Amino acid sequence: MAAPMAARSVRWAVRAAAAGPILLRPAPSSCLPRPALCSGSRSALGSILGVPSEKPSGALGRHPPPVASNREEQERLLRGRPDQPRNPRVLRIAIIGAPNAGKSTLCNQLLGRKVFPVSKKVHTTRCKARGVVTHEDTQLIILDTPGLTNRFKVKRHKLDEAMLTDPWDSMKHADLVLVLVDVSDHWTRNSLSKEVLKCLSEFPQVPSVLVLNKVDLLKKKFLLLELVNELTEGTVNGKKLEVRAAFEQNSSSSAGSPLQITQASPSENRAPKQARGGSGMENHSDVKASESSVVTGEPQGPTQNGPKDVKDRKGWPCFQEIFMLAALHGEEVDTLKRYLLMQAKPGPWEFHSGVLTSQSPQEVCNNIIREKILEYLPLEVPYGVTQVTEMWEEGQSGELLIVQSLLVPRKSHMMMLIGRGGKVISRIAQEAGQDLMNAFLCDVRLKLKVEVKS
């Protein structure tokens, strides 16, 4: 079943969701990068360029370990010496992007267990946290960071000052950075935010990968070609891309004149790196394509730094790969995971193989409860809630007993949080308790109390 799904997903990227078959004209062989084989389907870039790849193997590794429900046990695992394999490999990955792009959702999918909070509201992630993926002799250290923001928004949402510095600190320790873009947001998808561009230009030596998320929500998949061109400035992996597509208009299509994607300036390219692994998506659209072609230019000479001036810039010409996925449903996440495993370099592990996250059990609990509060309270109300854990004990049958007080600034907020007949707070406790059971792999009895701050 995995192979057909991968094949369909690759066609999604290649065809840009054209309804009918298209004619793909690959560039001359001298212009194409040498194929790099990986145990996964092709990346979006590889799909567009027509680079062959091996069929994906089965699921990646064993089930992820649970988070230790006991603080002392978690600290013992974090402080203890990692159980190093004979030839360890490691990769530190920073995931950056605008708020609500799906960074924490992608982290949870890569880890295989939910340990980071996810919400439709912005600024759900308040501080950087590390997730750990251990597969055979390779360890991926994923740095989940708050969405890149500015000082005004930090003050508006009553956020910690660390929200401004954590993403930048993560870049200092990263071997690779994933830049996540929500393609379903038509207000922001055509350009990278100024904060993201500043971060990339400040650390041009860190290899960067563009990840287009929420592709399943994009009805007109041919727009992916435009987005790829705009977000990469027509240059990927040190090569110029030229995409031409002619679309036939039908009654329900908004596609007009043929799409012409221009080439990027040679001076903006960095040294090419070999493309591996990758992704794509499925084929759906109301547009019929009659012709499409992609051409790559000659590799550009190496430069020490990426473009510094980001004032008038919308994209980044130094991405070495492109991935298209739907993190919420896990579509093509394994393909990205395989690529990341292939990028790991020889080096000692930083964590024991039994560690899933650097967070304490209490931090995991607080984050998951806050996620539910963000979901069920309107507007700015949830950002003023303070959480206080009053009890954290193991019951006689091994179950975890948790009592937490939720302190709110106003009585009206308390009434909203409790809900009519206690329905809202009961639903929050039920859903958070289920998520905690999945994280700790034990029975959890969670009791929440709501009080007005004195």
Residues 414-444 have pLDDT tens digits of 999 999 999 999 999 999 999 999 999 999 9
Please answer whether residues 20 and 289 qualify as being in contact, where contact means their C-beta atoms are separated by less than 8 angstroms.
yes
Q: What angle do CA 326, 238, 197 make, to 5 degrees?
A: 60
Whole-angstrom Cα distance, residue 9 to residue 33?
22
9: Cβ–Cβ under 8 A, 6 or more apart, which residues?
Answer: 41, 279, 280, 281, 282, 331, 332, 335
Q: Which residue bears the tokens 């350009």?
A: 191
Helical (H) or strand (E) element with 319: strand 319-324
CB atoms within 10 A of CB 348: 11
Residues 16-25 have pLDDT tens digits of 333 333 222 3
Please answer whether residues 236 and 209 qualify as being in contact, where contact means their C-beta atoms are separated by less than 8 angstroms.
no
> Mean of the pLDDT values across residues 229-256?
65
pLDDT over threshold 90, residue 228: yes
Percent of the chain with pLDDT over 70: 64
| Nearest C-alpha neighbor of 211 from the set 85, 79, 328, 103 | 103
Residues 113-164 have pLDDT tens digits of 999 988 877 666 656 689 999 999 999 999 877 645 444 444 544 444 443 3
CB atoms within 10 A of CB 279: 33
Please answer whether residues 258 and 244 qualify as being in contact, where contact means their C-beta atoms are separated by less than 8 angstroms.
yes
> Mean of the pLDDT values across residues 249-270?
40
Whole-angstrom Cα distance, residue 319 to residue 101?
18
Q: Residue 332 is encoded by which pair of tokens?
A: 């093509």
Q: Which residue bears the tokens 């009895």?
A: 445
In this prediction, residue 231 carries a pLDDT of: 95
pLDDT over threshold 90, residue 409: yes
User: DSSP secondary-structure letter at 160?
Assistant: -
User: DSSP secondary-structure letter at 183?
Assistant: T
Beta bridge partners, 139, equal 90, 134
- Phi–psi pair at 231, nearest 5 degrees: -80, -20
In this prediction, residue 144 carries a pLDDT of: 72
Confidence band (pLDDT; 50, 70, 90) for 454? confident
The one-letter amino acid code at 394 reads E
Q: Reduce the DSSP state of residue 288 to 3 states and report it.
A: strand
Percent of the chain with pLDDT over 90: 51
In this prediction, residue 383 carries a pLDDT of: 85
- Phi–psi pair at 450, nearest 5 degrees: -115, 130
- Phi–psi pair at 162, nearest 5 degrees: -65, -20
Q: Reduce the DSSP state of residue 169 to 3 states and report it.
A: helix
In this prediction, residue 422 carries a pLDDT of: 94
In this prediction, residue 143 carries a pLDDT of: 86
> Mean of the pLDDT values across residues 62-77?
91
CB atoms within 10 A of CB 250: 11
Using CB atoms within 10 A of its CB, is residue 256 exposed (0-12), middle (13-18) or buried (19+)?
exposed
Query: What's the chain's average pLDDT?
Result: 76
Confidence band (pLDDT; 50, 70, 90) for 45? low
In this prediction, residue 189 carries a pLDDT of: 93
- Phi–psi pair at 340, nearest 5 degrees: -65, -40
DSSP string, 422-453: GHHHHHHHHHHHHHHHHHHTS-EEEEEEEEE-
Whole-angstrom Cα distance, residue 200 to residue 444?
42
Confidence band (pLDDT; 50, 70, 90) for 100? confident
Whole-angstrom Cα distance, residue 67 to residue 122?
25
In this prediction, residue 266 carries a pLDDT of: 47
Whole-angstrom Cα distance, residue 207 to residue 318?
8
Among 193-197, 199-203, 217-221, 306-310, the least confident range: 306-310
CB atoms within 10 A of CB 419: 16
Confidence band (pLDDT; 50, 70, 90) for 63? confident
Whole-angstrom Cα distance, residue 185 to residue 317?
22
